[in-house]
Structure 1
Amino acid sequence: MTSSPRPSAAKTLAWDDFRLIKAVADKRALPAAADALGVNHSTVFRRLGQIEEALGVRLFERHRSGYVATPAGEEMVQLAGRVDDDIHAFTRRLAGQEIKPAGELRIATNDTLLVDLLTPVFAKFLAQCPDIRLDILIGNQAANLSKRDADIAIRATDNPPETLIGRKPARIAWALYGRSADFPGPELPAREALWEHKWVSLGEQFTMLSAVRYLARHVAPERVVYKLNTVLGLAEAVEAGIGIGFLPCFIGDTRPGLTRLAEPDPDLSADLWLLTHPDLRHTPRVRLFLDFAATELARLKPLVEGDRIIGRAEAVTATGAESPA
């Protein structure tokens, strides 16, 4: 009796199979790959065996450290990556063809910008554009706009990704602040005397910030008594009297409990960027938000760039939101 011929791989492989192989390669373990795909471990194990049988080659070597792709498996993973990129590019292009400025807009930023600068801007935008919904993603890691993790990123950086386009409405100024009760006089203290104070600082994971590098160069390590990984917490620490520290002026100048101990240092500043992917630049809701946010942040430029002292109530009014009674 003759055996039936093996079905060709072209007829048996589907896009889901490529996704499965890529997930196994990325996670190096079947349970983790199953979690990423939202299926059972047994389903991944069974389907991997079926794919290898259909192709007639092993796609992975099973090592103690996990699943490692063979040359054939690596080629399949690379193809899956290219297809995945093409799919994301296609969905971005479709999104760019929208006509009506409506739907969900995902914006990635960090908690510092959100709490002390952007929330009133978002509130005013939603009031004027009721057909748009905002989904705000908070984190210090840059969102992958190419993968549509977000439609727009609002970041403080002097080196925005070359793959993105955007606008730069202001440059964020930083200055040295202390608790007002500890520095009641009108005269700015001598910089030499400040080095002997207790200091607060962001941690080593923020060395991309000029202020953190500057402090590390000029302040003895034993004088830095408090480190943390959030600028919001840094402002709270200075206001509590734990120590003096560098803060963005749009935070320090709106807190009555803080006082500037030196004028803003231009070398510590960072550009404020509104970024999006080139494929989304003509999407109505993206274009509408970029125009709106750029205008509103330009109005707040004196606050952001530390050109004048501005109270919190004035800052809220400047964004167009109502100040509390």
Structure 2
Amino acid sequence: MTAPLAWDDFRLVKAISDQRGLTQAAERLGINHSTAFRRLGQIEASLRTPLFERHRTGYVPTPAAEEMVRIAARMEEDVLAFTRRIESCGLTPAGELRVTTAASLLTGLLTPILAAFCARCPEVRLDVVVSEQALNLAKRDADVALRATNDPPDTLVGRRLATIAWALYGRADLDRSVPLDAQRWVSPAPRLGAAAAARYVQERTAPERVILRLDTVQGLADAVESGIGIGPLPCVIGDPRPGLVRLSAPEPELAAGLWLLTHPDLRRAARVRAFLDFVGDALTRQRDLIEGGRPGG
């Protein structure tokens, strides 16, 4: 008769399957390699079946392990859903709140608003995750996301605050006698999530005129301001910089919605509700700047 399995046994098997190895799985779970190795051996001995095939390329789960992984995923989601429901019962804004946004939205735009929110709700501790990639709010990678997107996930709820306008920018001392397509250009990297902006550059100049590609919008703005080349930028980033000038009106093809999003189970949590209301209202008051209506800030 096999010994009963514990929740941690399922977590270990899932981690090994996800990471394809013991060392990485142990690091993810915060245990050492020898402990993970010993526990896996004990689970396999208890079940009287191997859970992984050991290959040079990593650990490959057997059908038994794949079933444990599926069960672990369901258990993990149930735990997260329970946690979200319990947290939503709080009446006073307090506790940790994890917020994710892109660096280009944090610097200059969101940081002063966060400072004001912290003063308003001192019992809330903010954990800001700066990422150009969308984190998974369902898995609690973050509680709230401020995202630039035209297609927010159906699994999240929130509000569209504004439309982020983009335009073409160059240094204020740019030689305007040189046609735009003959200027030196800088471009967002398509992997940045700015595929439309990268395509915009490709359609307006020859490949050899693109001197630099960057995977952050902030870096792109710095490159334009330093004179490396002209390039597309969000107006909320380009307009406040006195060293930059617009070379075009806002380009409709580059516009993206600015969304403040959370998981449905968390929207009634006091700290989440307070954050959504405060930050949403503050950003709405800056809609004119975000939508490119105030050149030069």
TM-score by length of 1: 0.87
> What are the ranges of 5 or more consecutive residues in structure 2 without an aligned counterpart?
none
Amino acid at match of 2:137: L
Distance 1:272 1:209 in 2: 17
Q: Is 2:96 aligned against 1:104? A: yes
Deviations 1:119-153 (A, max 9, x none): 11111111222222211111111111111111100
* Aligned equivalent of 2:247: 261
Structure 1 position 309, deviation (Å): 2.1
Amino acid at match of 2:202: A
Q: Is 2:40 aligned against 1:48? A: yes
Amino acid at match of 1:225: I
SS at match of 2:203: helix
- Provide closer, same or farther for how the CA distance between residues 16 and 207 of structure 1 changes in structure 2, counting only shifts above 3 A: closer
Aligned pairs for 1:155-166 within 5 A: 155-166=147-158
Q: Is 2:6 aligned against 1:14? A: yes
Deviations 1:202-241 (A, max 9, x none): 1231354422211122221101111111111111111111
Distance 2:74 2:31 in 1: 23
SS at match of 1:169: strand
- Provide closer, same or farther for how the CA distance between residues 176 and 205 of structure 1 changes in structure 2, counting only shifts above 3 A: same
Equivalent residues of 1:176, 1:261 under 8 A apart: yes
Q: Is 2:275 aligned against 1:305? A: no
> What are the ranges of 5 or more consecutive residues in structure 1 without an aligned counterpart?
1-5, 184-188, 312-325
SS at match of 2:182: coil
Deviations 1:232-280 (A, max 9, x none): 1111111111111111101111111111111111111100010100000
Structure 1 position 310, deviation (Å): 4.5
Q: Is 2:116 aligned against 1:124? A: yes
Percent of residue pairs identical? 57
* Aligned equivalent of 1:237: 223
Q: Rg: which structure is higher?
A: 1
Aligned pairs for 1:58-69 within 5 A: 58-69=50-61
Distance 1:295 1:247 in 2: 24
Q: Is 2:18 aligned against 1:26? A: yes
Distance 1:39 1:293 in 2: 39
Moved over 6 A (4+): none
* Aligned equivalent of 2:237: 251
Greater alpha carbon shift after TM alignment, 105-114 vs 19-28:
19-28
- Provide closer, same or farther for how the CA distance between residues 268 and 223 of structure 1 changes in structure 2, counting only shifts above 3 A: same
| 2:277 aligned to which of 283, 288, 291 | 291
Aligned residues: 297
